[in-house]
């Protein structure tokens, strides 16, 4: 009997696109390769994401995209541009919750098949040189408290990847050549975390 090919929808911004890297190095594509090694076969991921998107722009992007109605797993990583542009946390909260509810619908109303990733700390990267890194970190942490609380409320999976992104000063190999976005090695760390949880949910 032929094994099922699972489907995956990845929602987000530049961190989901894999800005400045070849497509196959972004975390959604690395994820499906890792899952294949675990005998879980996936079709190519459907990615609705664009560099610079905020929560409201992702919502519009979803409405404009041609997608199927249900996926076996859905990931959501959004909010860094809300913080970067100085948008209000309260606005982020309700927009994020609407996106999460949409993600749950895409996952066939299975919250356990939705995976939220925390917002990386861009303030730790070379790009932030000359800025107040401590303020950026505090704001990122605040936005992450919001998305974590909403994720827990809706009983989806939540993966904290933020602390790892703060290791860039110690491990420069974790940042891409643009000095801002993650490298393929950093995306692999995210993919490994996701693969471990998804394997438990699907097997």
What is the H or E stretch that residue 8 is in?
strand 8-12
In the prediction, which pLDDT does 3 show? 63
At residue 1, the pLDDT reads 41
Integer Cα distance of 127 and 146 in angstroms = 25
pLDDT of residue 148: 98
State mean pLDDT over 49-68. 94
Which of the four pLDDT bands, split at 50, 70 and 90, describes residue 2? Answer: very low
CA distance 13 to 54: 7
Burial 69-108 (b: 16+ CB within 10 A, else e): eebbbbbbbbbbbbbeeebeeeebbebbbebbebbbebbe
- Residue range 99-128: average pLDDT? 97
- The radius of gyration of the chain from alpha carbons, rounded to an integer in Å, stands at 16
* Residue in this structure with the two tokens 């990931």, named with its chain if needed: 75
pLDDT at 80: 98
Calculate mean pLDDT across residues 72-81: 98
62: CB partners within 8 A, 6+ apart: 11, 48, 99, 102
What is the mean predicted confidence (pLDDT) over 138-167?
Answer: 98
Strand partners, 74: 9, 114
pTM (2 d.p.): 0.96
Architecture per CATH, 5-202 = 3-Layer(aba) Sandwich (3.40)
The length of the chain in residues reads: 203
Quickly state the pLDDT bin for 85 (edges 50, 70, 90). very high
pLDDT tens string 24-56: 999 999 999 999 999 999 999 999 999 999 999
Residues ≥6 apart with Cβ < 8 Å to 34: 191, 192, 195
Section 186-192 average pLDDT: 98
Distances from the Cα of 86 to the Cαs of 29, 62, 100, in angstroms? 31, 23, 22
Angle between helices 89-106 and 133-153 (to 10 degrees): 40
Percent with pLDDT over 90 in the chain: 94
Tell me the CB-side half-sphere exposure of residue 65, using CA atoms within 13 A: 18
pLDDT tens profile 6-20: 999 999 999 999 999
Query: What is the rounded average pLDDT for all residues in the chain?
Result: 96
C-beta atoms surrounding 1 within 10 Å: 3
Place of tokens 């959004």: 78
pLDDT mean over 169-192: 96
- Whether 73 and 33 have beta carbons less than 8 Å apart is answered as no
Residue 187 is predicted with a pLDDT of 98
């Amino acid at each position: 009997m032929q094994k099922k090919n699972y489907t995956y929808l990845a929602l987000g911004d530049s961190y989901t696109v894999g800005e400045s890297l070849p497509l196959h190095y972004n975390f959604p594509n690395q994820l499906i390769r890792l899952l294949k090694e675990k005998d879980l076969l996936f079709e190519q991921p459907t990615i609705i994401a664009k560099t610079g998107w905020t929560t409201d722009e992702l919502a519009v992007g979803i409405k404009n995209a041609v997608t199927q109605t249900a996926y076996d797993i859905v990931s959501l990583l959004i909010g860094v541009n809300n913080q970067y542009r100085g948008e209000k946390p309260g606005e982020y909260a309700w927009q994020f919750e609407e996106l999460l509810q949409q993600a749950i619908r895409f996952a066939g109303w299975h919250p356990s098949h939705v995976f939220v990733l925390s917002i990386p700390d861009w303030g730790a990267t070379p790009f932030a040189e000359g800025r107040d890194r401590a303020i950026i970190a505090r704001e990122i942490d605040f936005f992450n408290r919001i998305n974590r609380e909403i994720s827990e409320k809706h009983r989806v999976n939540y993966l904290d990847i933020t602390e790892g992104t703060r290791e860039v000063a110690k491990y420069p190999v974790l940042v891409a050549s643009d000095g801002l976005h993650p490298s393929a090695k950093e995306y692999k760390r995210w993919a490994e975390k996701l693969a471990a949880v998804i394997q438990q949910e699907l097997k």
